[in-house]
Amino acid sequence: GLLARLQTSALTIRTLSSSNPFSQNVPNCLWKLGRLNHVAIAVPDLEKAQSLYKDVLGAQVSETVALPEHGVYTVFVELGNTKLELLHPLGEKSPIASFLQKNTTGGMHHICIEVDDIKAAMTELKKKKIRILSEEPKIGAHGKPVIFLHPKDCHGVLVELEQA
């Protein structure tokens, strides 16, 4: 009955995970992707967004930090396995201001994935014709070097890579 089906399923999962067909298709790199660091959400009203996550959903929410070199105010929402980054425009040339002009209620802006060697990642990604939106890494909200990959080269998603 049910126990036999569960045992068969467990055996199938063990067999699939030990053979790991996915790793056979992954080329050797001088760098590797790490964990998802955060998902960034552009918000038109930062105080309302902070209140939603803190007061309504009960999450731990950081103080607002201004990052003038990136043109944003940022707030981090701690989750069990990652973070959300709330982004609000800082200054007229903010990339978030132009995002919010097109998406007036806000929305997902980018994802951030950690890498173990950002310089090696940049070199290899350029060889693979992935456009990087800056010539050199900038210091991000966590005080670590970051780069952004062009969304048109990443299936419509703005990808931030952060040095782990």
CATH code for the domain of 105: 3.10.180.10
- With respect to residue 128, please indicate whether it lies within any of the assigned structural domains: yes
- With respect to residue 120, please indicate whether it lies within any of the assigned structural domains: yes
Tell me the pLDDT tens digit for each residue of 67-99. 998 999 999 999 999 999 999 999 888 999 999
Range of the domain at 41: 36-163
Beta bridge partners of 73: 66, 88
- With respect to residue 3, please indicate whether it lies within any of the assigned structural domains: no
- With respect to residue 27, please indicate whether it lies within any of the assigned structural domains: no
DSSP assignment string, 141-154: TTSSEEEEE-GGGT
Torsion angle defined by CA atoms of residues 13, 113, 59 and 105, in that order, rounded to the nearest 10 degrees: -110
How many independent structural domains does the chain possess? 1
Q: How far apart are CA 161 and CA 72, in angstroms?
A: 18
Tell me the pLDDT tens digit for each residue of 127-158. 999 999 999 999 999 999 999 999 999 999 99
